[in-house]
Structures are given as structure tokens and as C-alpha cells.
Structure 1
């Protein structure tokens, strides 16, 4: 069962680790064996998110390289975030993949279940996001996102957010492979408990980010 660690408290200019280094399965909420280390830093105009995706043996099979491609079709680290304390119906979706490609868009999700969603894609050059892949080895990839508050808003001191990771578990022969429940693991910081089909777009599961 997932521990009740749904709120992250940040002090300015101090890195904060998520208290648990294992994400949880999107469908059942089971703790996953792979380690995912996430650290956050609140700076004056920026939220920095550092991540380590460990136990990732097929990382070099990712073939998507263009910004704002459908990066979720292969391996990614994802952040969904919205200003305010209530469950959002509109939130920012950010994705980065092992090739340092970035996806950014605003999601309108009126039902909270991911059906009938609308995507407002943000042109890459207008995001203001600084991003890096720091390391990529045979079973590990690490990186950082520097997200300007001008993009997500800074009218309050509470945000709702979740983190996600897709991990390829079976070798692929087709360069245009697409992740599925048959070949990949779909993991969340706060599990969406979506049942048979993995779904990330369930904002009721979002945790909280609070600035002290």
C-alpha cells in the first residue's frame, strides 16, 4: 500500500527529495521494484526538478528525438502540475525522454478521467524551460527540468502535481515501437489506481506542493 506522503514542503534554495524512491503501479498502486529518485528546488522564479530513472535496461531503444512529439509513446519522465489546492481540471503536462526531447502542453480534463481531454500544445521556444539529460548508461538515465513560474503561475503557495515514469521491459525490433501494458511498466508517484488500463490523467490522485 502506498504510504501517505502526498504533500511536499519546500523551503527556498533547499533541495528536497521525495521521501520514497519507488513509484507505484498506475493500475493497482503496487510498489514497483525500480528506483525513481526525484528532488525539487524552489528558486526565485523557477521550480527545478532533478530525477534519476534507475533499473532502465532498454533506455537506448528510445528513438523519439523531436520536441513536442508524442513522447508518451516510448519511455518518459513526466510532471503534471497546476496552481491551487483543489483538484484541477486544467494542468500543465511536461515530459522529457532519454534523448532530451521535451513535450509541453496544457491539458483540459473536465471529467477527471482522461476521456474527452483537450491539449493546448505549447511551442517549444515559448516554454522557457531549461532541460538536460545529465547521464545515460546501460540501465540509468538522469536529468533536470528548470520550469519558470511564469509558465505555471505563482499566485499562491500551493500546487497540485504528480510525477510519472514509463519503463520499457521487453526488447523491441521495430524502431517505431510503442509502449503498452504488454511491454512496459506505467508508474506514478501518486498512483492513479486506474484498474485494468494504465491511465495517468486522473488529477484527483495528484499530491500537493507547498511553499513554507
Structure 2
């Protein structure tokens, strides 16, 4: 990893609001979704409107993806947003997940990963980014769960730009992640296979710290760190 990544030994840390520890075994689940992602400027798009874990109706959320020679591009769009709720005192890598965020979990490969990148962004464009070490693959209670924080995202090639459209109840964030994080050389992304999942967290001043969770591939627990539920993605 680059010198901008601080290796933190946070074994068996308490779960944040967005994801409580999982059980040792993953319950039976439906086949995970899949998506083909083209080179930019074409887009591969998904929409989801199911909550975690009960799959009840959830405000529609869209994710558009493409790749170029050096980066993975992801556009998040949150529809029917009522609150745009964030903590204005938060800075990079603060617990923005306690408020409203959109998230991606990204791994290059086809297996259920033990390590992956987690990226989050809030409505005021504050970001959270770390490599996750989750050897139980479900954030099992009592198991090792470590975060390796990225502390200089701009230097590493990460960017985020967020806009709010309160009149139409929409917020959107466009992010760029370097393919080098995933050992993909420049110009070599075509044909690579990935595991990813996408999440949105909703809360408000009235219900905080309670949250409503939504996902592209909803886990069967209120726990985002369940890699068997990550969807399959191929760059084409």
C-alpha cells in the first residue's frame, strides 16, 4: 500500500450503526445480481429500492459506472431525499456513516473477498475510505475486523464531487477510484471481473441515531460487511 495508508490494528472493533457483527455462517440467500460495465463515456447502470435486511420499499437509488485507462468512475444518485442530513463538523474519515451516506464496496476478483475497499460520501461531500480486512467474510462477532485508512485520497487519485438539488429531493455524488488500488495496470481494465455492492443510509434529526438502510444486493442482516452478497461485475 502507499505511504498514505495508515495500517490500524482494530481487531474485533464494535460495529458502527450501519453494520452490526454478523453470525459465523451466512444464511441461504438468492443469487446475487450482476452487471456489465463499459468503458467511459458509456455507462452501466443499476437502480435499487429495497431495504436491508427485510427488502421493504426504499427510496430509489441509482448507480452509474464506467472505467477508463486509470480509474473506476461511479456516479451515485439518491432520489426522494427528505433530509440531506449530515454532521457539519465531520471531516475526512470521521464516522459519517452515522448520518446519511452512499457507499461502495469494491474488490477485483470473483470470490467472496476477505479484503476490499470501502468508500463512503456524505451530502456535504465529506468522504470516508479504507481497505477492510474481514477474514470471516461476514464481520462475525468476535472475529478479526481491521481497517486500513487512506489518509491522502487526492494524492492517491481519489476524487469526489457532490451536488444537492433540494427542490427535486435529489443528491448526487461523482467519484473516481484509481484502478491501481486493485492491481490493474493502466489500460488493462477491459475483461476484468469484480465483486461490488452499493448502499445508502437514510436518517433524520427526528429519528437519529436510527437509520434506514438500502442496498443493491441486500444482505440478510443489517450488516453491510457480508461479502457473499456482493454482486458480480465485469468490465467490457
TM-score of the aligned structures, taking structure 2 as reference length: 0.76
Provide the rounded CA distance (Å) in 2 between the counterparts of 1:27 and 1:64: 30
> Of the candidates 86, 89, 96, which is equivalent to residue 71 of structure 1?
96
Distance change (3 Å), C-alpha of 1:106 and 1:54: same
Provide the rounded CA distance (Å) in 2 between the counterparts of 1:4 and 1:94: 24
Give the match for residue 168 of structure 1: 203
Aligned: 1:49 with 2:74: yes
Provide the rounded CA distance (Å) in 2 between the counterparts of 1:65 and 1:80: 21
1:137 is displaced (CA, Å) by 1.4
User: Structure 2 regions of 5+ residues with no counterpart?
Assistant: 1-28, 186-190
Provide the rounded CA distance (Å) in 2 between the counterparts of 1:76 and 1:10: 23
User: Structure 1 regions of 5+ residues with no counterpart?
Assistant: none
Provide the rounded CA distance (Å) in 2 between the counterparts of 1:152 and 1:64: 32
User: CA contact under 8 A between 2:44 and 2:65: conserved in structure 1?
Assistant: yes
1:210 is displaced (CA, Å) by 0.2
User: CA contact under 8 A between 2:85 and 2:205: conserved in structure 1?
Assistant: no
**Where does 1:140-155 land on structure 2 (aligned, <5 Å)?**
140-154=170-184
Give the match for residue 34 of structure 2: 7
Aligned: 1:120 with 2:148: yes
Report the number of matched residues: 197
Give the match for residue 209 of structure 1: 233
User: CA contact under 8 A between 2:107 and 2:196: conserved in structure 1?
Assistant: yes
TM-score of the aligned structures, taking structure 1 as reference length: 0.84
User: CA contact under 8 A between 2:157 and 2:177: conserved in structure 1?
Assistant: yes
Q: CA RMSD in A?
A: 2.2
